[in-house]
Amino acid sequence: MAKFRLSAFADEYSPMLERQLEGLASFGIDKIELRGIDGKSVADLTPEEAKEVKKKLDAAGVTLSAVGSPLGKVDIDGDIAAHIELSKRVAETANILGADRVRGFSFYKTEGKRGAVIDALGKMTDIFCGAGVLYCHENEKNIYGDTAERCLDLKETFGERIGVVFDHANFIQCGVEPYPHAFSLLGGLLTYMHIKDADADGTVVPAGEGVGMVEETLRDVDRMYPGEVILTVEPHLHVFAGLDALEHGEKSKLRGTYGTSEEAFAAAVGAIRAITERIGKK
């Protein structure tokens, strides 16, 4: 039986790190997937800045579940050499922050270019393996790994060199059924999960309120995994600082029910906690 452990993209609570830590504490969450810090991407932190962030995290008793990097969110025909250099910087940042996982993607505009994707990811995973960090691939809209089949292709190609991050809402927005279809291919290979759900039209909603069958998925995860499973809360229920930078020109559909980022964050945390409590995992 699994032990579910919540983490969160706390930059959706506030862009400021101190407020992020306050928000996590108010919800009893002691892990963070660090993405935006004081208006700056985690990938852009200098070593000195990363050390200061680590001091603040330590003081608050918060550890990283992963570095929420933007790696792999560029066109495959772009400046991949520069992206490889950025990977070195992110790997160094992960080491400073004490993180053994980095979330990343598998490039845009990849039709007919699988070879280029594999080559680039191979160089990036070389860097992360050398740093003792696992590159964890997230399914995302319009990248190579946007379908369960291509996510599986990456996992089968790289094996233990790459992790699998499962996101229900992103699959829905790509026209992929998260459960049972995507889960039937990837369920036994999970590294961790991002928790957000979506309606059939792709509008992001709290977990359990969409068509992703999040609770059914987690019941299967509970049966399949004997240890800790990280569930990273990613609300996407309210416009937050940095959202545009994440979307590569494509706007997310937000329901607009929540007046503030704090309210949206509370709804997202409450929804997943209700699900895990029903499963019997408090």
Q: How buried is 155 (Cβ within 10 angstroms: 0-12 exposed, 13-18 middle, 19+ buried)?
A: buried
Question: What CATH number is associated with residue 96?
Answer: 3.20.20.150
Q: What is the pLDDT of residues 239-265, one digit of tens each?
A: 765 555 555 556 566 666 798 999 999
Phi, psi of 252 (to 5 degrees): -70, 150
Helix (H, G, I), strand (E, B) or coil at 50: helix
In the predicted model, what is the mean pLDDT of the chain? 95
**What pTM did the predictor assign?**
0.94
Two structure tokens written together for 97? 């922050």
Two structure tokens written together for 20? 């992020």
What is the per-residue pLDDT for 184? 98
- What lies within 8 Å, CB to CB, of 19 at 6+ separation is 13
CA distance 237 to 203: 9
Q: Which residues of the chain have pLDDT under 50?
A: 282
How many residues are recorded in the chain?
A: 282
Asked if residue 206 has a cis previous peptide bond (ω within 30° of 0), the answer is: no
Helix (H) or strand (E) holding 173: helix 168-173
The DSSP bridge partners found for residue 154 are none
What is the per-residue pLDDT for 252? 60
Provide the domain count of the chain: 1
Phi, psi of 67 (to 5 degrees): -90, 120
Give the strand pairing for 40-41 and 134-138.
unpaired
Angle CA 9–233–189, to nearest 5: 110
* 103: Cα within 13 Å, side-chain hemisphere: 26
CA distance 239 to 183: 29
Q: What is the pLDDT of residues 85-129, one digit of tens each?
A: 999 999 999 999 999 999 999 999 999 999 999 999 999 999 999
What is the per-residue pLDDT for 257? 78
Residue-range definition of the domain harbouring residue 245: 3-279
What is the per-residue pLDDT for 242? 53
